[in-house]
Structure 1
Amino acid sequence: MLELQGLTRRFGAVTAVDGVSLRVPDGQLVGIIGRSGAGKSTLLRMINRLCDPSAGRILHDGRDITTLRGQALRHWRTDCAMIFQQFNLVPRLDVMTNVLVGRLNHVPAWRSLAGFWPEADRAIALSALTQFDIGQLAAQQAGSLSGGQQQRVAIARALVQEPAVILADEPVASLDPRNAQLVMDALAEINRNYGITVLVNIHSLDLARQYCGRLIGLAAGQLVFDGPPEALTQDAARRLYGLEAAEATGAEAAPRLYAVA
């Protein structure tokens, strides 16, 4: 169980996340929705402890994540894998090595530094790549791949960490519709086959409704919606997205009935 209690993050006078409280049972696939600047990325970064809360607590299976330091914090970041919009791969390294980075906390440091990865870890990495239909790319430089392929490499790297939770921060924002579908398929497969809890920031309501069993809506850093996709009405979407609602839902924007100064 992942639990947030009054989680808040301030940047000077700006409150990016404002007192968010929620509970995420193990094995859920949760879409976090809202307009740009709503606090979605900051929320995930706090859960991973890339950004410290200004107030509130993060609990996982009763353990207070907000107090972790040093090695305990490094272990949490293994248990709570992060996938970024811009992939965070090393372009000049081959795909296999990029995925093996996810095994760093599972092997002695000297092996990883020397590039002497155990055959068992190589097999785990190749299995993850094959699962996402990119096993044949293992020897290619990561920088030579398409955006969708690179994001699936990043997902494979997260999977080989053997995490309890995966946080995906706008993983399809820079992808075309076909590759966005492939990436969301990969996240859904991880959730379904391994029971890994997945929290994904996603701008497209169509994709959120298609893949996520639960939606969390943020507006101005506050939690304003929490429920199944079918409970998110067009009116609720407009409260979340304002003038961006048409873009988020894929609908045509309504004609303006007023002049803009």
Structure 2
Amino acid sequence: MLVVEGLSRRFGVHTAVADASFEIERGAFVGVIGRSGAGKSTLLRMINRLIDPSEGRIVFDGVEVTALSGRDLRLWRRRAAMIFQQFNLVGRLDVLTNVLMGRVATVPSWRAVVGAWPDADKAIALSALEQFDIAGLAAQRTETLSGGQQQRVAIARALVQEPELILADEPIASLDPRNTRVVMDALLRINKHLGITVLCNLHSLDIARDYCDRLIGMAAGAVVFDGAPAQLTDALAREIYGLEAADVIDHAPGLDPVRPGAPVGEAAAA
């Protein structure tokens, strides 16, 4: 179980995350929703310890993550794999090598530097690529791939870390609708078939409702909603998204695109 307790982060006078508290059971697929600047990325980066909290605690299965340092912190980052919006791949390297970077914590550093990866690690990386139907691209330079293909490579790299938790920070923000579904389907498959907990930042409310078991809504750094997608009302969506609510609610299933909050169909016209 992941426990976030009173977590805050300030940058000077600006509070990016304010007193966030929640618990996530193993095997859940949780979406963190909200407008740009709501604190979603800062929250995930604190959980991974890429950013240190100003206040609060993070605990995973009884281990206080906020107290880790050195080797223990590196091991935590292996257990909690990050997937980024910008993919964070090395474009000049081939796909297989990029995926193998997820095995860095398991091999001596010299092997990673000279590219002398053990055959067993190569097999693990190829197996991960096969799961996402891109094993045939293993020898191709990553910079030649489409955005959707690159994000699947990034997910495969996260998977070979053998994580217990995946933190996905806006993984579909730069993708077209087709690749958005391909990437979200890949994350869902990891969650449902492998039982890996997924905490995923999403701007799109309709995607969040389609894929997530639970939603955590953030506004101005604070958690303002925590519950099942069906419990998220129009009023709460407007509180979470502010001025962007009209665009988000327009695309939400079951809502009138002209009058947000009104039912769709003949009943609305009656």
- Deviation (angstroms), 1:110: 2.2
- 2-structure distance, mates of 1:241, 1:60: 30
- TM-superposition CA deviations, 1:18-68 (whole Å, max 9, x none): 000100011100000011111000000000000000000000011111111
- TM-superposition CA deviations, 1:165-196 (whole Å, max 9, x none): 10000000010000000000010011011111
- Deviation (angstroms), 1:254: 5.9
- Secondary structure of the residue that 1:140 maps to in structure 2? coil
Q: Does 1:137 align with 2:137?
A: yes
- Matching residue's letter, 1:183: V
What residue is the counterpart of 1:94 in the other structure?
Answer: 94
Q: Does 1:85 align with 2:85?
A: yes
Q: Does 1:218 align with 2:231?
A: no
What residue is the counterpart of 1:46 in the other structure?
Answer: 46
Structure 1 runs of 4+ aligned residues shifted over 4 Å read 252-255
- 2-structure distance, mates of 1:253, 1:56: 42
CA contact (8 A) 1:246 1:253 kept: no
Matches within 5 A, 1:189-204: 189-204=189-204
- TM-superposition CA deviations, 1:83-119 (whole Å, max 9, x none): 0000000000000000000001111222222211111
CA contact (8 A) 1:206 1:250 kept: no
- Secondary structure of the residue that 1:172 maps to in structure 2? coil
What RMSD in Å do the two structures reach over aligned CA positions?
1.2
Structure 1 runs not aligned, ≥5 long: 256-261
Residue range with higher mean Cα deviation, 232-241 or 52-61:
232-241
What residue is the counterpart of 1:16 in the other structure?
Answer: 16
Matches within 5 A, 1:47-66: 47-66=47-66
- 2-structure distance, mates of 1:231, 1:13: 34
- Secondary structure of the residue that 1:46 maps to in structure 2? helix
- Number of residue pairs matched? 255
- TM-superposition CA deviations, 1:195-243 (whole Å, max 9, x none): 1110000011110000000000001111110001100111211111122
CA contact (8 A) 1:34 1:218 kept: yes
CA contact (8 A) 1:148 1:179 kept: yes
TM-score (norm 1): 0.95
Percent of aligned pairs with the same amino acid: 66
TM-score (norm 2): 0.92
- Matching residue's letter, 2:86: Q
Structure 2 runs not aligned, ≥5 long: 252-256, 261-270
- 2-structure distance, mates of 1:122, 1:64: 33
- Secondary structure of the residue that 1:226 maps to in structure 2? strand
* Cα pair distance change 1:246/1:181, threshold 3 Å: same
- 1-structure distance, mates of 2:61, 2:194: 18
